[in-house]
Structure 1
Amino acid sequence: MRVLIRADASPAIGSGHVARCLTLAQELRRQGASVAFACRRLSGHRLEALQAEGFQTFELPERYIDEHPELGIETPLPWQADIAALQQALATEPAFDWVLVDHYGLDHQWQRAARQWAPRIAAIDDLANRRHAVDLLLDQNFSGSAQAYAGLHDEHCRTLFGPHFALLREEFRRPAIPIRPQPRRVLVNFGGFDAAGQTHKAMLALADFHQLQVDFVAGSGNPDWQAMQALAAERPHWRLHSYVKNFAALLAEADLCLGAGGGTSWERAVLGVPTLCVTVAGNQELNARLLAEAGAHLYLGPCEPVSVEQVRQAVSLLLDNPWLRHSLARRARELVDGRGVQRVAAALFAAALRLRPATLDDARLLFDGRNAELVRCWSQQPGTLEWPDHLRWLEACLKDPQRLLLIAQVPEGPVGVLRYDRQGVQAEVSIYLFAERLGLGWGAALLEQGEACLVRHWPDVRRLRAQVMAENQVSLNLFRRAGYHQGTCEFTRVLKEHLDD
């Protein structure tokens, strides 16, 4: 699978768009995809960093149109100019399977035009303020919801809303930090650029907390860099970092964090780091407020009116209240489990999912998959399989004209198993995912593609049936969302080819 990502970074835009897309790109590559980035060469771009990570990059010009160069006036970025620049950059490139755009300045017009490079378009958004013409729409924020995006996308669009899909790097999947009675370490990070100067404000607020070791991660392009260097030089318990490779480890060492309301919110949440949040951009405010209402962090508000003294008082409040820090950490971890990037990757790879008939060569794969404890516990027959019995069962399956046994796979490897048992015009469906694929959203793709395969194989089958254990809420929800109607102990679905029969 080939994916093109369109995102930019600059002091005005921030580095968060490219950072979260890089996290997704790394997961897609791990699963076998080829990923490339197209970025404008703005001040603060990340092209070299992306190349260092091994990704192909396409450099777009810093400026597209300058109608009045003598006045220094640049017209706003039109979507047509961006498409024209891409046409030039991609002139000799083969087609992609997906184009993914993470850019507030590009909307449905750009997305429709981008289909010249891929049959499927995806978008990452936070604002819910413009129309999208995409096949997949992601908003990982707490504020992302069907209500917020009502009327802003087509009916066929698959939506991934909320921190369940937060794009977190693998290193953030680690145990929660301990909540100590007396905090010792604080981490301050307001983004890669911090054009709002909040790191310097935090330094002034923390100046008198001599018992605390503090790490400030700011970036040397910070507007207050020299003043911050002078403050840090006077305090041996402070460390000022222009760049860190081990941010997850640094965050895991912290007892308290001061930061903005962007993507780092989820990095703090998954580790359960009690947080004092100050937003540095308007698009962060709703999400930060909703997180505060959910009890997941302490929110002081937008940065402009927040004073040094307010930050100092809020830090004192958190330092003196271990019960509050416990509560904030627990609620934050309830929202984020760290597997969001795998779920988003699965949604993109679902387009590349393929079903094939099982063969005897799959005996070991099916045996190990079905015997996995997480699979057996929800089976109608939860006992452990024995190898001779399994071989006899598989041989009988493959010879039975009333049974269709399918294996779903993507380029990286197998995903799950579907079995259809036919009884006249009705077929019973059984499904399970291999243990490493559980909880990532693959079930819906398997059912959808399995149904299409079934119709081709048995065009006269009119109805599907599924039996699900009452305690298996995941499977119950899966079949409901797939259009099955729940009876007392089973689900049924009339195939659309036979709705009028």
Structure 2
Amino acid sequence: MRVLIRADASLAIGSGHVVRCLTLANALRDQGAVVSFASRELPGNALARIADAGFAVLVLPASYPGDRAGNIESLIDWQADLAALQTQLAGQPPFDWLLVDHYGLDAQWQRSARAFAQRIAVIDDLANRPHDADLLIDQNLTATADAYAPLIPASCQTLLGPRYALLRPEFRVPAPTIRAKADRVVVNFGGVDAGGETFKAMEALAGLPIHADIVAGSANPAWDALQAKAQGQANWTLHRHVADFAALMQQADVFIGAGGTTSWERAALGVPTLCIAVADNQEPNAQALHAAGIHQYLGRDRHVTASQLGKAISDLLADAPRRQSYADKSRALVDAKGTQRVAAAMLHACLTLRPATLDDAQRLFDGRNAENVRRWSINSEPISWDAHIDWLTRTLANPDRQLWIAESANGPVGVLRYDRNADLPDRAEVSIYLFAGREGVGWGGALLQAGDAAIARLWPALRAIDATVLPDNTASLKLFVQAGYREHNGHFERVLPQ
């Protein structure tokens, strides 16, 4: 699978778009996809960061003739951007996916960009403009289907809420220990911090008997001034770059930061947080997380003083029960599997089904005998090799049984079997399982959707599909309900559209 990601970073925009796209790009690459970026050469860009991560990057111009004054992201000349991208892509075949993470590009750009890709995916946070997309991701707590309904095609798949937060694997960690005696604070307002909130945090921390790790960010233009501000503060450590930010965050009793993508990192780790919004688009989500008891939202940057922040730091450090509550509720909201879910959704569209053969005997034998598969099978006993070969040989010769292996870009995902009812040839029963390591990110739904569509084409007289699920198998019960099956006493039925 080939993927192109269109995202920018700059002193004005910040680095959040590129950072979360790099996280997704790494997950896609791990699944066998080939990922490239297209990004503008703006002041404070992330072109070197993208290249250092091992991704090809198409460099787009820093300015276009039609750019308007103001926020360069939202006032971009989209037609010039599209033309520049077209020049860079000359002679290349279409991508499987073009993913766009950019507030200045909407349905006009996306519609024309379909010339470069079979499918369009969009990452959004605002729900303020139309999209011509096949997949839309909004990881915010405030994201709703109703808000996006008038802005996207009816066929567009939506992945909404913190369940789809784009986090790196290092944020999947055990629950934190909330210390009664708390004295460690981490400060970070992104890679740029154009508004200088780090200085405000320093003023708030001055004189407090605590250790502070202050992460300024590699693109922060005020590094020299920050160093001068930290001079003489023996309990402060000023970082320009942190190799393992998640590990540093885990050490914090309290985190002080903005309301952007780091919100989900903090939540996944269960780090009690004091949040200050540094942009208008951060406010709704920061307020919603405060209302849900996930963190303490202090307000928009221009309204929060160093004195107010200092008092909030002291109060939260002294309140272990409140910090424990923030940690528990945060981790219940964000499980750090969102990146895998988004990657799986993109891979789903490229999922293929192929008939099983005798060459698959070992894979099917290992898959069927896996403990997690046997536990939920009607016959939970291990199958012998001889019995398995006999069954597979008969299966492949049976015109009323279809056995498929589902594959993604990086290999087999799972198995589907359909058995046509000999007495009622307009009905069939489905059985499904995933191979080890494929659980938990949505592959089951993709397999079932692809399989049901394929079997309806193969057996056009089919009118309904049945399934049997053990009552304690909650994952499969949920799977079939979400796929449109109706349940009655452990038996599921899906009536196919005519």
TM-score by length of structure 1 reads 0.94
In the other structure, the counterpart of 2:257 is 259
User: What's the CA shift string for 1:21-80, capped at 9, x where partnerless?
Assistant: 0000111111111111000110011111111111111111011116999xxx99942221
Is 1:456 equivalent to 2:457 in the alignment?
Answer: yes
SS at match of 2:150: coil
Measure the CA separation in 2 of the matches of 1:231 and 1:35: 41
In structure 2, the residue matched to 1:438 is 439
The Cα offsets for residues 236-257 of structure 1, whole Å up to 9 and x where unpaired, read as 2211112222211211222221
Unmatched tracts of structure 2, length 5 or more: none
- Per the alignment, residue 39 of structure 2 pairs with 39
The residue matched to 1:148 in structure 2 has which SS? helix
| Contact kept? 2:464, 2:496, Cα under 8 Å | yes
Aligned-partner SS, 2:260: coil
Aligned to 2:56: 56
Corresponding residue SS for 1:147:
helix
Aligned ranges 1:133-172 → 2 under 5 Å: 133-172=132-171
Aligned to 1:387: 385
Give the aligned partner of residue 103 of structure 1: 102
Of 351, 354, 360 in structure 2, the residue corresponding to residue 362 of structure 1 is 360
Structure 1 residues 254 and 222: CA distance shift in structure 2, 3 A: same
SS for the counterpart of 2:313 is helix
Q: Displacement of 1:473 after TM fit? A: 3.2
Q: Measure the CA separation in 2 of the matches of 1:343 and 1:29.
A: 14
Q: Which whole-Å CA distance do the structure 1 matches of 2:453 and 2:395 have between them?
A: 20
* Structure 1: unaligned runs, 5 residues or longer: none
The residue number in structure 1 matching 2:473 is: 472
**CA positional deviation for 1:221:** 4.6
Which has the higher mean CA deviation after the structures are superposed, 400-409 or 481-490? 481-490
Q: What does residue 428 of structure 1 align with?
A: 429
Q: Distance in 1 between matches of 2:312 and 2:175?
A: 23
1:208 CA drift (Å): 1.4
Equivalent residues of 1:197, 1:223 under 8 A apart: no
Q: Distance in 2 between matches of 1:377 and 1:314?
A: 50
AA aligned to 1:11 is L
In structure 1, distance between residues paired with 2:7 and 2:219: 20
CA distance in 1, matches of 2:475, 2:361: 27
Distance 1:130 1:328 in 2: 33
What SS does the aligned partner of 1:331 have?
helix
Q: Which sits farther off after the overlay, 223-232 or 82-91?
A: 223-232
- Amino acid aligned to 2:83: A
Structure 1 contact 371–384 (Cα < 8 Å) conserved? yes
Read off the aligned partner of 1:30 and give its amino acid letter.
Answer: D
**Alpha-carbon separation, structure 1, partners of 2:6 and 2:356:** 39
In terms of mean alpha carbon deviation, does 177-186 or 383-392 score higher?
383-392
- Aligned ranges 1:132-281 → 2 under 5 Å: 132-210=131-209, 212-219=210-217, 221-222=219-220, 224-281=222-279
2:188 maps to amino acid? N
Question: Within 5 A, what are the aligned runs for 1:397-416?
Answer: 397-416=395-414
Show the counterpart of 2:350: 352
| Deviating more after overlay: 250-259 vs 109-118 | 250-259
Q: Secondary structure at the match of 2:58?
A: strand
C-alpha deviation, 1:223, in angstroms: 5.2
Q: CA deviation at 1:448?
A: 2.0
Q: Is the 8 A contact 1:375 1:435 kept in 2?
A: no
Query: Which amino acid in the other structure matches residue 414 of structure 2?
Result: G
Closer/same/farther in 2, CA of residues 141 and 74 from structure 1, 3 Å limit: closer
Match for 1:311 among 309, 322, 325?
309
The range that moved more, 398-407 or 484-493, is: 484-493
Q: CA deviation at 1:271?
A: 1.0
CA contact (8 A) 2:97 2:119 kept: yes
Q: Secondary structure at the match of 2:242?
A: coil
Aligned with 1:343: secondary structure? Answer: helix
Q: What CA distance in whole angstroms lies between the structure 2 residues aligned with 1:305 and 1:223? A: 23
Contact 1:66 1:75 in 2 (8 A): no
Partner of 1:328: 326
- Output one character per residue of 1:168-188: Cα deviation in whole Å (capped at 9) or x when no partner: 111222223211111232110
Count residues with an aligned counterpart. Answer: 493
C-alpha distance in structure 1 between counterparts of 2:490 and 2:244, whole Å = 51
SS of the residue aligned with 2:180? coil
Measured at CA, do residues 453 and 206 of structure 1 come closer, stay the same or move farther in structure 2, by a change above 3 Å?
same
2:41–2:61 contact (8 Å) kept in structure 1: yes
- Following TM superposition, where does structure 1 have runs of at least 4 consecutive aligned residues deviating by more than 4 angstroms? 66-69
The verdict on how the C-alpha distance between 1:407 and 1:470 changes in structure 2, with shifts beyond 3 A counting, is: same
Partner of 1:94: 93
Partner Cα distance (2:444, 2:187) in 1: 40
- For 2:53 and 2:428, the matched residues in 1 are separated by 48
**Contact 2:268–2:334 (CA under 8 A) maintained in structure 1:** yes
Residue 130 (structure 1) aligned with residue 129 (structure 2): yes
Q: Residue 18 of structure 1: SS of its match in structure 2?
A: helix
1:386-444, CA deviations, whole angstroms, 9 ceiling, x for partnerless residues?
A: 33333332233223222111110112111111010111211001111123111111122
Amino acid across the alignment from 2:494: R
| Cα distance in 2, alignment partners of residues 445 and 356 from structure 1 | 15
| In structure 1, C-alpha distance between the alignment counterparts of 2:314 and 2:147, rounded to whole Å | 36
Could you say which residue in structure 2 is the equivalent of 1:27? Answer: 27
Distance 1:67 1:362 in 2: 56
Distance in structure 2 (CA, Å) of the matches to 1:76 and 1:249: 38
**Larger displacement relative to structure 2 (407-416 or 456-465):** 456-465
Does the 8 A contact of 2:75 with 2:104 survive in 1?
Answer: no
Give the % identical residues. 57
